[in-house]
Amino acid sequence: MSSIFDALPGQETPVGAISKNLARMWATDERAESKAGEDAKATQVNFVLHLGLHTTPPDALAQFQTAVRFSRRYPCRVVVLCPTREENAQDATIRAKIYGECHPGKTRGDLRCCEFVILHYPTAARVFLENQVSICLSTDLPVYYWAHNFASSAKLGAYQYLLTKAKRVLIDRSLVPPEDTGEVAWPRPEAVRDLANARLLPVRQTIGQFLSAHAPAALADGVSGVVVRHGSARRAEARVLAAWSRERLVGCGAPEQLATKVEADRAASPDSVELLFTYGNIQSVRFQGDFAKGSAQLSAHIRGSSTELATTISLLSPEAALAEAMFF
């Protein structure tokens, strides 16, 4: 059975020769040694992509390509961590690959290059992993840590070095199974970002712009709760919309204890989400969207004023969601 390490591109190299062979790789690449010189390989951040044990080889390759597309816009040193599924492995050997590519920049003659270090580690080598990661990172640059598809949330707590050192810790709550109640004792909770929230940026902007026609006090007047119903594929997005709506309504003057409810709609299409503001009067606010269809309907009946809107909706691309979660 192919491992996630084997599924990723790159040139295998001894762990102790990573730096030397990276330099050799660029020395033999005519594009990187063109007039762009060392500027082509200038990096802005360190980016650690940690593939959890639930990651399949096709999924690993998809996330790797997302990191490549991200690095084209934000030059970075990427370290990809690939654990083995052999829990009883006694071999503590860490394997490594290096990978690099160059592409045109924003202006004529501009060249941007990115480089990847891919580390494969068995369970027995876990105690050496953080030391090896620290060697692979570029010094004096911030670290961003993306933990993808872990078997359970609690397992993240074993990687305190990365959780503590990272300026941002990125997780995707849409990949957490409903039965997973594991809690992580985040050393820096303020650094944690949810990619499900980042992907929803265009949707939150659309709803916010639609409701901006009404005064904040009018939106909060008589509101009794927020209800979000979702299809089977959008549980995480529904939770994000519920929390975001409640926070915004409280900011408009709604009571701090404003109730929220998130519930699955088995009759709805998998990619649908419906958001309702409930009121104790005749007012109402409703958003209903389907991400598979790329369309949504919004309506608001506030203080005698009624507005409706049919619009297109979309989620941010994976690489754009990474940038949103990391930098904003």
> By CB neighbour count within 10 A (0-12 exposed, 13-18 middle, 19+ buried), where does 170 fall?
buried
Q: Which tokens sit at 2?
A: 């192919």
280 and 223, same domain (yes or no): yes
Say whether both 204 and 278 belong to one domain: yes
Domain edge (last residue) among 125, 159, 187: 187
The residue segments making up the domain with residue 137 are: 4-187
* CB proximity list for 92: less than 8 A, separation 6 or greater: 122, 124, 125, 128
328 occurs within a structural domain? no
Distance CA 187, CA 221 (A): 39
| pLDDT tens-digit series, residues 147-200 | 999 878 788 888 999 999 999 999 999 998 776 756 788 999 999 999 999 999
Q: Specify if 52 maps to a domain.
A: yes
My answer on whether 236 and 279 are in the same domain is yes
81 shares its domain with 181: yes
- Distance, CA of 315 to CA of 52 (rounded, Å): 24
Q: How far is CA 281 from CA 214, 216, 221, 304, 320, in A?
A: 17, 17, 9, 11, 40
The count of other CB atoms within 10 Å of the CB of residue 261 is 12
pLDDT tens per residue across span 291-318: 999 999 999 999 999 999 999 999 999 9
In a domain, 92, yes or no: yes
Q: At which of 187, 218, 239 does a domain end?
A: 187
Please tell me whether residues 299 and 150 are part of one structural domain: no
- Token pair for 54: 């639930």
Same domain, 148 and 80: yes
In a domain, 262, yes or no: yes
Write the DSSP symbol of residue 93.
Answer: P
Q: Phi-psi region for residue 95, left (φ > 0), alpha (ψ -120 to 50) or beta?
A: beta
Find the angle CA(257)-CA(258)-CA(264) to the nearest 5 degrees.
Answer: 125
Whole-number Å distance between alpha carbons of 157 and 103: 37
| Of 4-8, 60-64, 88-92, 191-195, minimum mean pLDDT range | 88-92
Read off the pLDDT of each residue in 25-54 and give the average, rounded to a whole number.
74
**Is 204 found in the same domain as 183?**
no
Are 140 and 64 contained in the same domain? Answer: yes
Residues 245 and 123 in one domain: no
Same domain, 179 and 203: no
Last residue of a domain, one of 152, 187, 222: 187
CA atoms of 223 and 204, how far apart (whole Å): 19
Judge whether 327 lies within some domain.
Answer: no
* Rounded average pLDDT over 74-91: 81
Domain co-membership, 143 together with 208: no
Residue 103: inside a domain = yes
Radius of gyration of the chain (CA): 23
Kindly state whether residues 162 and 210 are assigned to the same domain: no
Which CATH number fits the domain that encloses residue 304?
Answer: 3.30.360
Residue 110: per-residue pLDDT:
72
Nearest to 82 by CA among 19, 135, 125: 125
Overall domain count for the chain: 2
pTM: 0.92
Nearest alpha-carbon partner for 325 in 43, 51, 45: 45
Please give the Cα distance from 139 to 227 (Å, whole number).
47
Does some domain include residue 192?
A: no
pLDDT digits 0-9 by tens, 10-33: 999 999 999 999 989 888 766 555
Q: Is residue 132 part of a domain?
A: yes
